[in-house]
Chains A and B, each alone.
Chain A
Amino acid sequence: MNATNKTLIIVPAYQEEANILRVLEDIQANLPQADILVINDGSTDLTGSLARSAAVKVIDLPFNMGIGAAVQTGFKYAWENDYSEAMQIDGDYQHPAEEGPRLLQVLAEQKADLVIGSRFISLTGYKASWARRTGNRLFQWVNALIVGQEIIDNTSGFRAYSRRAIELLAQTYLGEYPEPESIGYLKSRGCAIIEIPVKMRHRTGGRSSITPLRSIYYMVRVLTSILSFNKKSRR
């Protein structure tokens, strides 16, 4: 199947009625040529209907399955509908879409498979919590050890993906914490990964899923899931 020259913006959203409209407006203003797909991950609030009112494509998961399954649904859609590249922008309004074209530009120019928008590479004006920084440092070591490339912001969900990455991630479920895991997975499949600095907003509505106590739980689970990198296909 030949991919046409299309870009799909995948927006995973769970209970984001406070943010979804401004997220979509932001994307429509900054990436007007791209198609937008909202994956409504079993929200019980108005996330789904608000997204539909913004005239974008919405796929409703029948129940809440977590970010990993939501984003994978987006990759499956992108693969089936011949998108040549995809970008993930989370539904919580932390990722500024104005940085999107730059991610796509690097993806195309440097023939990368994954471009990560990093909030830690200098001059981005972002101060992460202590828990997030410590967790990230741990992922840095582990990923550097396993994949031989230093990635600074392993947990960033602001990313652009090539057709090849779309294919791999449509076929492979990356657990409930797909961001750090996908780096090692894609690298083990010979994909090229590039990280560039981006500005990020602090979240305003809702709560971050990462708190100090939970981050320990999070780290243990991610480290466990990283063990299964070399398994051929996990669907």
Chain B
Amino acid sequence: MNFLLLKISTFFLSVFVLVWILSLVRRRQLIEEYSFLWICIAGVFLGLSFFHPIMDKVAYWLGIEYGPSALFLFFNVVTLFILIHVSIQLSDYKSKKRLLAQEIALLRDKVEDLSRKMKSHESANL
């Protein structure tokens, strides 16, 4: 079977993702740490678009008859792991955000108390 269309679309998709990610990094909308993952993924797809027999081999080993199906499976699994990873980080940020907000609320209360005390102290000294 000839997967020319698949090859071409995978190629353009990979290049598009790569260029997009790099421009996001350049504009500092995405920090380098996160860009790495996406650059890797785009790289893998770029590679696969040139050497699609690799995918066919992998598909054959997995008992998947249709090569592109293996590609979809691969991409779905990768996406799943990325989403779980993002959820973990989101949870971490949420709990840090909560700690910061509580700290701010308690500190603001202390600051208000102190400035009230200072004012009464000043007026007592006058």
- A residues with a Cβ closer than 8 A to B are 57, 59-63, 65, 69, 72-73, 76-77, 80, 173, 234-235
* Contact A61–B95 (Cβ < 8 Å): no
Query: Which of B38-46, B50-58, B103-111 lies on the face that meets chain A?
Result: B103-111
Q: Chain B contact residues (Cβ within 8 angstroms of A): what range?
A: 10 to 19
A-B contact pairs, 18 of them (CB 8 A): A57-B109, A59-B105, A59-B106, A60-B105, A61-B102, A62-B101, A62-B105, A63-B101, A65-B98, A69-B98, A69-B101, A72-B102, A73-B102, A73-B105, A77-B109, A80-B106, A173-B98, A234-B95
Q: Is the interface of B mostly helix, strand, loop or mixed?
A: helix
Q: Other CB < 8 Å A-B pairs besides A72-B102, A77-B109, 20 of them? A: A59-B105, A59-B108, A59-B109, A60-B108, A61-B101, A61-B102, A61-B105, A62-B101, A62-B104, A63-B101, A69-B98, A69-B102, A73-B105, A73-B106, A76-B102, A76-B106, A77-B106, A80-B106, A173-B98, A234-B95
A164–B15 CA distance with the chains assembled, in angstroms: 59
Instruction: List chain B residues, Cβ under 8 A from A69.
Output: 98, 101-102
Residue ID in chain B nearest A170 by CB atoms: B102
A103–B38 CA distance with the chains assembled, in angstroms: 57
